[in-house]
């Protein structure tokens, strides 16, 4: 398992560093990404915290137990939030959020239900880790 994590780490660090840089510079990202020094700084900001944290935890299984909870965020919470925010932004501009491809799965109440489910699962997993410790 550690080989899989070790091989993905550089790719994740580069991607997160680029996203941090894009968030920081916004519209000026095009001109800033040409500066190698700035790219390296943002990529180091993404890569150093996990390395430091890993120095204090010897068992990779414990790390993946906790970071696995981000799957709930990625699969349930973030998409539902994006859907709700997108619909709100369109309605604010006077545009109907529905399209030809809209269905019961793209309705506001479905997104709210998925958001509630994801939040509940996330809280449950974190609470169970706090009460029992991560599974071995």
Domain end among 30, 56, 82: 56
Please tell me the distance from the alpha carbon of residue 44 to that of residue 87, in angstroms, as a whole number.
36
77, 100: one domain: yes
The total domain count for the chain is 2
48, 64: one domain: no
Degrees (nearest 5) of the Cα angle 18, 71, 43? 20
9, 51: one domain: yes
pLDDT tens for residues 118-129? Answer: 999 999 988 888
Predicted local distance difference test score (pLDDT) of residue 136: 59
pLDDT tens for residues 14-32? Answer: 999 989 999 898 888 888 8
Alpha carbon 43 to its chain centroid, in Å, reads 17
pTM: 0.61
129, 64: one domain: yes
């Amino acid at each position: 398992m550690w080989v899989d994590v070790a091989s993905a780490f550089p790719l994740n660090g580069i991607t997160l560093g680029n996203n941090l840089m894009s968030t920081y510079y916004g519209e000026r990202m095009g001109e800033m990404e040409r500066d190698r020094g700035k790219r390296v700084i943002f990529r180091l900001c993404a890569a150093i915290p996990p390395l430091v944290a890993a120095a204090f935890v010897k068992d990779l299984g414990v790390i993946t137990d906790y970071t696995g909870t981000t799957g709930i965020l990625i699969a349930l919470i973030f998409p539902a939030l994006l859907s709700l925010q997108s619909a709100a932004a369109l309605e604010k501009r006077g545009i109907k959020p529905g399209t030809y491809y809209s269905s019961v799965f793209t309705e506001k109440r479905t997104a709210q239900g998925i958001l509630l489910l994801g939040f509940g699962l996330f809280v449950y997993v974190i609470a169970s880790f706090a009460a029992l410790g991560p599974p071995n």
